[in-house]
């Protein structure tokens, strides 16, 4: 006899993810009550058909940003708990059991339940799991009660919670698909967003920001947070973090030099 499914709506936003969304859905389909995949008109590779074959409900809307699309998926959820996933993430068996136990306890004692829960995310990069440095534990808030959270932000969207956030202990598995070239391209995009948001607030960058901040980020990632234990990928991640830091402050300096009155 099958156990009753947990009262959870899994909310996923997806572009062309036919190559990996099935693995994500299969990690939750047997134990959650509802799966929702939010897409837009750019999806043409069969992602929607694969998701539907796994039992997911498809909702479509014009693309604006990640937060808007996550809120679209959440708005179509019918269960009292919501779990947000990306198409390159998998709920590990240990995290699955912990989520089920947490929600079961909340049903018995609703007053003791938190409004939301975070858990660590472990990334697979360059053929190994990254368990140190700036990439781990990479704690994310993804499980929350219906009506008590809303996504906000543009570049790195954040779930804003009304109430207390608790902590779960087991990993969400992140099968990052980017190559090193993809990571470099993301540096350009993310640094542009940083400059737009930072300059809009009137903040400036000094020479020390370009020289000292990248060095500190490398030392923090590789030494203080034990990135060296992840082998050469840990070393590369530390250098990439330093490069991203230098790039965004260098771009901010360029914007400063272009303001009226500057040569």
Residue 156 pLDDT grade (very low, low, confident, very high; cuts 50, 70, 90): confident
- Using pLDDT thresholds of 50, 70 and 90, give the confidence band for residue 263: very low
CA distances from 120 to 57, 174, 251 (A): 27, 10, 32
CB within 8 A of 57, min separation 6: which ones? 34, 35, 36, 37, 76
Read off the pLDDT of residues 95-143 as tens digits, 9 standing for 90 and up: 999 999 999 999 999 888 999 999 999 999 999 999 999 999 999 999 9
Residues 40-73: tens digit of each pLDDT = 999 999 999 999 999 999 999 999 999 999 999 9
Q: 2: pLDDT confidence band, cut at 50, 70 and 90?
A: low
User: Which pLDDT does position 255 carry in this prediction?
Assistant: 84
More confident residue, 204 or 237: 237
Torsion angles phi and psi, residue 207, rounded to 5: -60, -35
What the chain holds in terms of domains, given with CATH numbers, is 6-174 (3.90.550.10), 180-257 (no CATH)
Of all residues in the chain, the percent with pLDDT exceeding 90 is: 78
* Angstrom distance (rounded) from CA 236 to CA 214: 14
User: Whole-prediction pTM value?
Assistant: 0.89
The model's confidence at residue 260, banded by pLDDT at 50, 70 and 90, is low
What's the angle, vertex CA 64, arms to CA 63 and CA 69, rounded to 5? 70
pLDDT at 1 over 60: no
* C-alpha distance across the termini of the chain, in Å: 76
pLDDT tens per residue across span 179-206: 888 888 888 888 888 888 887 788 888 8
Between 200 and 39, the higher pLDDT residue: 39
The chain-wide mean pLDDT, for the chain, equals 92
- Please choose, from the candidates 198, 204, 207, 189, the residue with its C-alpha nearest in 3D space to the C-alpha of residue 256: 204
Q: How far is CA 53 from CA 93, 100, 119, in A?
A: 22, 24, 29
Question: Which one-letter DSSP state was computed for residue 222?
Answer: I
pLDDT given for residue 15 in this prediction: 93
Beta bridge partners of 36: 11, 57
């Amino acid at each position: 006899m099958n156990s009753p499914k947990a009262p959870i709506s899994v909310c996923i936003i997806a572009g062309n993810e036919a190559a990996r969304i099935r693995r994500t859905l299969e990690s939750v389909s047997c134990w959650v009550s509802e799966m929702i995949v939010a897409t837009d008109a750019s999806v043409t590779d069969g992602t929607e058909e694969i998701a539907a074959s796994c039992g997911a409900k498809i909702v479509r809307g014009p693309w604006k940003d990640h937060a808007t699309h996550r809120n679209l998926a959440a708005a179509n959820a019918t269960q009292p708990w919501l779990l947000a996933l990306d198409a390159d993430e998998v709920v590990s068996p240990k995290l699955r059991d912990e989520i089920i136990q947490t929600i079961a306890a909340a049903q018995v004692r609703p007053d003791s339940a938190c409004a939301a829960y975070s858990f660590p995310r472990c990334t697979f990069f360059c053929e190994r799991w990254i368990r140190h440095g700036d990439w781990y534990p990479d704690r994310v808030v993804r499980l929350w009660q219906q009506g008590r959270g809303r996504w906000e932000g543009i570049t790195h969207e954040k779930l804003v919670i009304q109430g207390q956030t608790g902590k779960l202990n087991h990993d969400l598995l992140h099968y990052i698909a980017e190559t090193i070239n993809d990571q470099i391209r993301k540096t350009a995009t993310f640094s542009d967003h940083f400059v737009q948001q930072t300059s809009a607030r009137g903040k400036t960058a000094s020479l020390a920001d370009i020289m000292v901040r990248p060095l500190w980020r490398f030392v923090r990632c590789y030494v203080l947070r034990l990135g060296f234990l992840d082998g050469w990928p840990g070393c590369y991640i530390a250098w990439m973090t330093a490069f991203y830091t230098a790039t965004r402050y260098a771009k901010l300096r360029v914007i400063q030099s272009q303001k009226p009155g500057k040569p």
